[in-house]
Each structure stands twice: as C-alpha cells, then as structure tokens.
Structure 1
Amino acid sequence: MLLAAGLLWLAWQALFTQRRFSAVVNFMAFYLLMALVWVRLDAPDIALAEAAIGAGVTGALLLTALGRLPAGTSVGADPRRWQRPLQHLAMAGAGMGVIWLAWSAYHLPRPGLAGEVTATLDATGVSHAVTAVLLNLRAFDTLLEIVIMLAAVVLVWSLGPPLGPPLRAFAPATALPGLPALSHLLHPFFVLVPVYLLWRGTHAPGGAFPAGAVMGAGGVLLLLTEARPWEYLRHHRLLLHVLLAAGMALFLVVALGGMLLTGTFFAFPLFLAPTLIMAVEIATALSIALMLMAFYLYGEPGQ
C-alpha cells in the first residue's frame, strides 16, 4: 500500500510540479520506486531494466535536455483557456484506460498460462519460463520489440545532426568533478552484471533485456564523462550500424534457418535451441545497449 501510494504521489508531482528540475527528479524517483515494486513482485530482472532505463538512461536524457534549455524559461503552469478542456479530456481518457485494464486483468484466467508453459518447457531449449516465452513460445513479440527500438533510433537520428560530444555540449564533468571517478569505479560492474544476467537468463530471471539495459546505462554514463566513446563511434559508423542491427538480424537468421530445418518459421531442432537462444540473447543485449546510447547521442555520429 505504501509503495502504491508513493507511486501515485511521485507521478502527480512529476506531471504537475511548477519547476522543471523537480519534475525530472520526481520522474527518476518514480522509476526507482517502480523497481522496488518489481522486486516485491519477485521480478528482479524487470526491476533492473526499470531502474536502468527509467531512472538511468531516460533521467540522463531529461537532465541533459533541461541543461540545454534557455535560462529563465518558465513551465507555463497556467494553461490557456482552450487547453483546459483538452487536459480534462486527456485525464478522463487515461482514467478510463486504467479502469479498462483493471477490468481486463480481473477477468484473466487463473492461474493464467503457467501450466501450459511449464508443460512445454522441456521442448524450448531453456529451463526458465520467462526466457522460454520471450525467445521461443512468443519470439515474434520479442522480435517486434527489437524492430520498434531500431526504428526509434532511425527516427531520432533523422531529426537533425548530432549535438556533438555530450561532454563538450553539456559538460557535466565540469560541474560534477566526481562523475568521471564514479564512472571508472562502476564500469567493471556495468560489464560483469550484464554477463551474469545473460548467463542467468537460461535458468532464472535475467536475459537480454535487463542485460542490455544495464550495459546501456553504463554506456550513457561513459558518454557523460568522456568524449572518447563519441570519437570512436564517429570514426566507426559502419561497425555501429552493424551492431545496432545485430539483434534483429540474428533473430531473422535464426527464424529463417528454423524454417529451412523444420519447415516452420521460428522453429529449430531441440539440440540447437540452447546455443541459438544464447547467441540471440547476446546479440540482442548488445544491440539494446547501443540503441540506448544512440538515443542519447541524438544524431548519427560522423554526419
């Protein structure tokens, strides 16, 4: 109850506070508290992704955007008269959406599809139900998520030229001298934790998405503190493009290869399943990490 009340309060503060910096801080705190909710629901893999993407990467994006706004700009707390009905309509629509979702969740079958997933687990090539669902039973969903993320990167890059090295544009290391030291201290964890999550995903909560989220958060922290990664990406654009598409490309290769071997799209022999799933997870995690960094770069390096 306390977690639920805290989430509602932080969401309200993030939406309606008069100060932009306070809104961003409340937004980041909301996602940190949401991570605790996922831990409470025995989903530590989702909690890591929530904290890394919501509080980490998105928080860095919002703080950097806030730092680039002209000084003295106001939030514009009082909406114009024609805007008020639109606000009320949006809030009513959101409320109806919440009620509809709650009603749908209440009428879901109990205990859900856990029995069906457990019954087919031996034929998936992995020993954990979540990984089996994401990369075997419902692999189409996961593939489309990767496609949407890659399309979002292309859209962001198409908005304009890159802003230049983040260190030079925002200079957080000048304002916070301890940030580079913190980055160097945490970097081994941003490498070791994703490797552990990838290994753990075959038999316990983990896998490509939390691994990629943690790795991407480390990459954004590196971009905030040093200009060398920017220069490397700028001089190796082809490698960056290949790695960004690696997850989606390997997904499609596995799916088409399975069709050639078994006659069914996304189906592959059981003896190859563990190796193929691990290869897809590694490529997907790396692609997700680079996509999160690419969102922060704003434009394509080297243009």
Structure 2
Amino acid sequence: MSTATVFEIALAAVVLGLAIWTIAVPDTYSATVGFVAYGLLVALIWVRLDAVDVALTEAAIGGGLGGVMLLGAAARLRGSEVATAGRCSPTVRLSAAILSASTAAMLAFAILLLPNPPPTLAPAAVSNAGATGMANPVTNVLMAFRGMDTMLEKVVLLLAIVGVWSLAADRNWGGRQGPRHEADPKGVLAFLARLLPPAGIVVGIYMLWTGADHPGGAFQGGAVLASMWLLVIMAGLADTPPVSSPRLRLVLVAGPGLFLAVGFGGLCFGAAFLAYPVAIAKPLILGIEVAMTLTIAATLALLLAGAPERSVEP
C-alpha cells in the first residue's frame, strides 16, 4: 500500500468522523468550528481528485465565508440555545439518522449503477476548447458550454441579496447592514485588518486573471476579496455602505448586466444567445469575469452582513 493511499484512507476517515461529530455535538459553536474544519478537509479531498478549482471554491466558501456566517449566527443564537436544548425527542433524532443513512445508501447504490465508462461530453468540450482562447478547461465549460447556467447563478446571487434586504424594517430601508463593529484599535483583529487586505486584494486579482489558463476564476477571486472586505468591516476600520448607494447597486448588477448584454449581442450579431465571436471571445469572457468578480465580492460580503439595521447617518 502506497503512502498516497494511506493518506487518502486517513483523510476519508477523519472527514467522516468530523462530519458525524459536527452533527452529534450539542453546542452550536462547537458544531460551527467542526463545520469549518470539515470544509477545509473537503478542499484537500478535491485537491487529491485534481479538481483544484473546486478545492479553491470549497476552501473560500465552506471554510471561510460560510464559517464566518455560521459563527455570526451561533453568536446571535447563544442566548436562546440553553432554553431550546434537549427539546428534540429521541424519536425525531432516530428518524433523522435513519433518513440520512437511507439517503447516503441510495446515493451509493445509484453511483454503483452508473455505466462503465459513464456517459460524458468531455471529448466534445475538449475538441472545441480552442474556440474561446481559454486554456483553463473549467473556465471554458463555465463561460461557453454552460454559459447560461453561469449567468443565471449570478442572477440568483442578486436575488438573494434583494431577499436579505427585504427583511429590513421600513425605517431602516436604504440604511446600513448589520451592527457597527468596533474592535480594539490595538488588538489582533485590527492589526490583521491592516496587514492582510493589501496582500489579499493582490491574491484575489491574481486568482481572477490566472483563471483564464490555470485554476482560479471570478468566483474564487471574488470570495477572497469579500473576505478581505469583511475583515476590515469586522475590525471597525470601515462600515458597510448604505443599501441606497447608487455605486453599490451598480456593482451588484455589473456582472449579470454585462453577461446579459454580451448574450444579447451574440443573439443579434452571432449565431445564438451567448455565442461569442471567435475573434474576440477571450476579451469578452475576461471582461465578464472582471465584472462578475466585483459582483460576487460585493454580494457575498453583503449577504454575510445581513439585513439593513441602521438608518443612514445625516
């Protein structure tokens, strides 16, 4: 048995044990910490499967932004956690365990029934990859072969932020999201908020740019930029922008808007909706990726900030 095989078996055992512990532990904060660690380990699994793009996304969302959101929720629920602890009956817990095990068994059974080799469109995608000028196969698939899905995903993000904003009280509509954070100006959080964002911004821009030819792209770069922005906000060095800000709304619609404009351009001047002219396919895709990076960064950060809670100061 090779060293790589031993590592993979140990990694799978740790991930499975951590997943069970995250579900079984009664404390919300401990479960959240376990979930963050679980997300980082799953990112390692994706690396072992040579899916580096997916690993970057999992580390940024599952281990980063998702963890921040769950930690915030756990902090808000801590006061009511003691009052609700123990209300779940053994019958409900047993039913949930049986349902989860049955779902896992059915998924495993469905995978075993797949034909060998399984049906795939990979050869067709590879044979036409040169039409976009993008060397990264993941970017090719996301922006060309399933460009409609990618565009609609950004529209879903936009609808999600509208849904969060709609939870605001009428008196706070158009105001700032979340509480005003005030950290110790000489503390560790403020120090990190001054030290990390310059490097984080460079990393986010690099991940966007390298996504044309190597693992990376708009979503990964946008997630890194969102993390840096949230760090600055949590340290109290900056405040969330007013929901009524025209510049903020322009950034939020930039990605889907440009994507939609290019799509209609292909419908008017090309063969079909989102049909990129071969001569300018790469510049168009890179332009969409830049706009989507800004939209993704703003949307993810504002989703974690929550609904508007404060009116705009006069």
Shorter-normalised TM-score: what interval?
0.7 to 0.9
CA contact (8 A) 1:166 1:224 kept: no
| 2:231 equivalent in structure 1 | 221
Q: Which secondary structure state, in structure 2, belongs to the residue aligned with residue 264 of structure 1?
A: coil
| 1:168 equivalent in structure 2 | 180
Cα distance change of structure 1 residues 94 and 145 upon mapping to structure 2, 3 Å threshold: farther
Q: Which secondary structure state, in structure 1, belongs to the residue aligned with residue 213 of structure 2?
A: coil
Distance 2:98 2:29 in 1: 27
Root-mean-square deviation over aligned CA pairs: 2.6
Cα distance change of structure 1 residues 189 and 166 upon mapping to structure 2, 3 Å threshold: farther
| 2:5 equivalent in structure 1 | none
| 1:142 equivalent in structure 2 | 150
Q: Which secondary structure state, in structure 2, belongs to the residue aligned with residue 126 of structure 1?
A: coil
1:174-221: per-residue Cα shift (whole Å, max 9, x none)? 499201111221112221112111221111211111111111111211
Count of aligned pairs: 297
- Listed as ranges, the gaps of 5+ residues in structure 1 are none
Deviation at 1:283, TM superposition (A): 0.9
- Of 280, 285, 301, which residue of structure 2 is paired with 1:272? 280
CA contact (8 A) 1:259 1:268 kept: no
CA contact (8 A) 2:53 2:138 kept: no
CA contact (8 A) 1:48 1:210 kept: yes
- Of 48, 59, 72, which residue of structure 1 is paired with 2:56? 48
Cα distance change of structure 1 residues 109 and 189 upon mapping to structure 2, 3 Å threshold: farther
- Listed as ranges, the gaps of 5+ residues in structure 2 are 1-8
Matched, 1:283 2:295: no
* Letter matched to residue 128 of structure 2: T
CA contact (8 A) 2:56 2:216 kept: no
- Of 248, 254, 259, which residue of structure 1 is paired with 2:256? 248
Cα distance change of structure 1 residues 105 and 218 upon mapping to structure 2, 3 Å threshold: farther
Distance 1:26 1:151 in 2: 30
CA contact (8 A) 2:39 2:59 kept: yes
CA contact (8 A) 1:183 1:221 kept: yes
| 1:9 equivalent in structure 2 | 17
Matched, 1:195 2:205: yes
1:22-81: per-residue Cα shift (whole Å, max 9, x none)? 111111111111121122222223222212212221222222233334547417443444
- Percentage identity across paired residues of the two chains: 36
Distance 1:165 1:156 in 2: 10
Q: Which secondary structure state, in structure 2, belongs to the residue aligned with residue 266 of structure 1?
A: coil
Structure 1 window deviating more from structure 2 (95-104 vs 14-23): it is 95-104
CA contact (8 A) 1:259 1:267 kept: yes
Cα distance change of structure 1 residues 120 and 67 upon mapping to structure 2, 3 Å threshold: same
* Letter matched to residue 54 of structure 2: I
Cα distance change of structure 1 residues 229 and 78 upon mapping to structure 2, 3 Å threshold: closer
Cα distance change of structure 1 residues 116 and 228 upon mapping to structure 2, 3 Å threshold: same
Distance 2:245 2:106 in 1: 45
Distance 2:135 2:84 in 1: 53
Distance 2:22 2:209 in 1: 37
| 1:18 equivalent in structure 2 | 26
Distance 2:152 2:243 in 1: 30
Q: Which secondary structure state, in structure 2, belongs to the residue aligned with residue 159 of structure 1?
A: coil
Structure 1 window deviating more from structure 2 (72-81 vs 135-144): it is 72-81
Matched, 1:32 2:40: yes
